[in-house]
Amino acid sequence: MEFKAAIDAYFNAVKGRNIEAFSPLVKEDGKTTLILPTGKLILGYRKIIDFHINWFEDLDWSMAHEVIHLWENGNAGGGLFKVTYGDVKESGEPYMIHYYLNLLFERVSDRWLLHHDQNTLIA
């Protein structure tokens, strides 16, 4: 799989709330990281998948992204994206946030696997 195809597969799986498509894109080890916009760290494949299962069950959110920068060098690749994320509070009030999403992938054989996913709110 080409690197750009892995990026597209990532966003298609997330936006489509498709855990079956998302799970094979994540590196299966205890060092894979997800950092939420709140700063919360989720460490390891199983915890990241469990987080996404719960998140994908919520049907109120939407996200749009724009590519700021993509890079690929040997067995590593990454991308920086600007994300607009909309959701609904428990009170029923809609809200929107903007954040930077930094994704780092590692090539393992012929597959690109997500190794690090960091979300940082835009001030």
CATH number of 70's domain: 3.10.450.50
What are the pLDDT tens digits along the chain (123 aa)?
Answer: 799 999 999 999 999 999 999 999 999 999 999 999 999 999 999 999 999 999 999 999 999 999 999 999 999 999 999 999 999 999 999 999 999 999 999 999 999 999 999 999 998
d(CA 25, CA 18): 12
d(CA 105, CA 51): 19
Closest to 56 (Cα-Cα) out of 45, 48, 64 = 48
Q: Report the predicted TM-score, pTM, of the whole model to 2 decimal places.
A: 0.94
Range of the domain at 31: 3-121
Q: How many domains does the chain have?
A: 1
